[in-house]
């Protein structure tokens, strides 16, 4: 796969050595007088600084005027400059042999450091796997209580009430008045509500998806250590009651590359989903079924045909986007360049979104499911966003104060903006 996405969601193509010598960032010391006097051919050209600056300024003005009249030429030059980004400037090769050897020695040390980083990441991966297995009994207990197969103990209830700041007496009075109500098993719509409160996931859930997710009983995760490293998400459904598909579980597996990226982190390689066996087209929420009648011209018989159109759905998550193969890349190379760029950008966006959803489910939903059900987790999400807003607001105020100073209009603008500020909606049902 070309330009794989890093484990933090960023494309691998963005991983560049910011300080590597290039035609645009060759160290300024190269142009210092001390360096020029030590054997650099340019040192023989003793050009007064003021004259050189004046000539350069006039040349830049003339060049700008000419390029402004020829946008195609400007675009061509820009393409040439883009090709030079990251290219070798020849600076290292021009260094004295002793200095160059020291640079080579640092590269050797860098390799040893990278090996240690790789060992760290591998051991960290194994440590996460170890503790994920220790979490499993608690996760299974959570599944049993939320699904209604067991009832919580009095100790669990008392501790939960203490964490919520509620007293036992008030809760007991409520229970006494609810004795005549219909018996409810478990926590209805537990995972559906938690998913709908998770911002990035909630945007993918449609009304039809919600009806299917009512039968979702558990979401778990396990690490993969054999072969390619990665992790697997497991969605468990009530197969006895689920009228939509026959799968008891749906899995989605994310794989990392075997080698670490330049930053020392695992690099996302690809994802594989499980095929959903829908009971019929009518219950398939990933397609829109349209029925049409056709008449045979010869026999005059009428038949009904179904036309299925793919639609947006949460369950498309189990059919992840795939990077183009080499054959497809050759075919795409023959197409228009602009269309190809649009396709590549769309694919990169879909791949990044797919991996981001997997990370959200692994790191946020599964370990904090009850907080996403109650909406408590949204408060922490909102605090992070508010901190970013406050920093931006301070910068804007400083820029405004530097220009015109404070005025009555400042308070009006702030009041209007504050009126639109809302916390994320909690979809607890």
And the tokens for 391?
């920093």
The tokens 């996460």 sit on which residue?
Answer: 128
- Comparing 392 with 104, which gets the higher pLDDT? 104
Predicted local distance difference test score (pLDDT) of residue 241 = 86
Confidence label for 12 from pLDDT (cuts 50, 70 and 90): very low
Q: For the chain, what are the domain ranges?
A: 22-91, 115-165+186-274+317-377
Q: Which of 37-41, 237-241, 404-408, 420-424 has the highest mean pLDDT?
A: 237-241
Cα 61-63-66 angle, rounded to 5 deg:
110
Predicted local distance difference test score (pLDDT) of residue 151 = 95
Residue 43 has pLDDT above 80, yes or no: no
Q: What mean pLDDT comes out for the span 253-277? A: 87
CA distances from 374 to 71, 149, 418, 426 (A): 57, 21, 26, 8
Residue 75 has pLDDT above 90, yes or no: no
Predicted local distance difference test score (pLDDT) of residue 141 = 96
Burial class of residue 37, CB neighbours in 10 A (0-12, 13-18, 19+): exposed
Q: Which of 180-189, 241-250, 282-291, 377-386 has the highest mean pLDDT?
A: 241-250
Confidence label for 362 from pLDDT (cuts 50, 70 and 90): very high
Predicted local distance difference test score (pLDDT) of residue 424 = 56
Predicted local distance difference test score (pLDDT) of residue 304 = 77
- Comparing 144 with 23, which gets the higher pLDDT? 144
CA atoms within 13 A on the CB side of 422: 4
Predicted local distance difference test score (pLDDT) of residue 107 = 92
Angle between helices 154-164 and 168-177 in degrees, nearest 10? 120
Contacts of residue 282, defined as CB under 8 A and 6 or more positions apart, other chains included, come to 289
Predicted local distance difference test score (pLDDT) of residue 426 = 61
d(CA 91, CA 303): 76
Residue 418 has pLDDT above 50, yes or no: no
Residue 7 has pLDDT above 90, yes or no: no
Confidence label for 174 from pLDDT (cuts 50, 70 and 90): low
Q: Mean pLDDT, the chain, as a whole number?
A: 75
Confidence label for 248 from pLDDT (cuts 50, 70 and 90): very high
CATH homologous superfamily, domain 115-165+186-274+317-377? Nucleosome assembly protein (3.30.1120.90)
Residue 314 has pLDDT above 90, yes or no: yes
The pTM assigned to this predicted structure is 0.65
Confidence label for 182 from pLDDT (cuts 50, 70 and 90): confident
Q: What mean pLDDT comes out for the span 256-282? A: 87
Rounding to the nearest 10 degrees, give the CA dihedral for residues 333, 339, 343, 348: 90
Q: What mean pLDDT comes out for the span 236-241? A: 89
d(CA 222, CA 133): 8
CA atoms within 13 A on the CB side of 39: 3
């Amino acid at each position: 796969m070309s330009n794989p996405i890093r484990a933090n969601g960023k494309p691998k193509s963005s991983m560049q050595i910011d300080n590597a010598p290039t035609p645009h960032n060759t160290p300024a010391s190269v142009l210092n007088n001390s360096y020029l006097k030590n054997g650099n051919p340019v040192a023989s050209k003793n050009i007064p600084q003021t004259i050189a600056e004046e000539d350069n300024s006039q040349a830049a003005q003339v060049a700008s005027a000419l390029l402004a009249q020829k946008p195609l030429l400007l675009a061509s030059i820009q393409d040439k400059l883009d090709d030079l980004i990251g290219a070798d400037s020849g600076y290292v090769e021009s260094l004295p042999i002793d200095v160059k050897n020291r640079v080579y020695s640092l590269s050797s040390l860098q390799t040893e450091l990278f090996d240690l980083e790789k060992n760290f990441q591998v051991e960290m991966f194994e440590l996460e796997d170890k503790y994920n297995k220790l979490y499993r009994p608690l996760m299974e207990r959570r599944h049993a209580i939320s699904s209604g197969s067991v009832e919580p103990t009095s100790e669990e209830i008392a501790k939960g009430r203490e964490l919520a700041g509620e007293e036992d007496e008030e809760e007991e009075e409520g229970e006494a008045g609810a004795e005549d109500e219909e018996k409810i098993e478990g926590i209805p719509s537990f995972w559906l509500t938690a998913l709908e409160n998770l911002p990035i996931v909630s945007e993918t859930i449609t009304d039809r998806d919600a009806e299917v997710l009512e039968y979702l009983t558990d979401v778990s995760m396990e690490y993969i250590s054999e072969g390619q490293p990665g992790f697997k998400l497991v969605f468990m459904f009530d197969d006895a009651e689920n009228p939509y598909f026959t799968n008891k579980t749906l899995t989605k597996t994310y794989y990392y590359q075997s080698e670490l990226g330049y930053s020392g982190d695992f690099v996302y390689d690809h994802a594989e989903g499980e095929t959903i066996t829908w009971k019929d087209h009518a219950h398939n929420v990933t397609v829109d079924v349209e029925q049409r009648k056709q008449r045979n011209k010869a026999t005059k018989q009428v038949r009904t045909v179904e036309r299925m159109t793919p639609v947006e759905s949460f369950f498309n998550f189990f059919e992840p986007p795939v990077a183009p193969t080499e054959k497809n890349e050759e075919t795409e190379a023959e197409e228009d360049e602009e269309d190809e760029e649009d396709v590549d950008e769309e694919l990169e966006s879909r791949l990044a979104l797919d991996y981001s959803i997997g990370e959200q489910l692994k790191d946020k939903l599964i370990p904090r499911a009850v907080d996403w059900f109650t909406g408590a987790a949204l408060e922490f999400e909102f605090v992070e966003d508010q901190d970013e807003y406050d920093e931006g607001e301070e910068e804007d105020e400083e820029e405004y104060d530097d220009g015109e100073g404070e005025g009555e209009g400042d308070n009006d603008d702030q009041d209007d903006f504050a009126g639109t500020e809302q916390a994320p909606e909690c979809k607890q049902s």
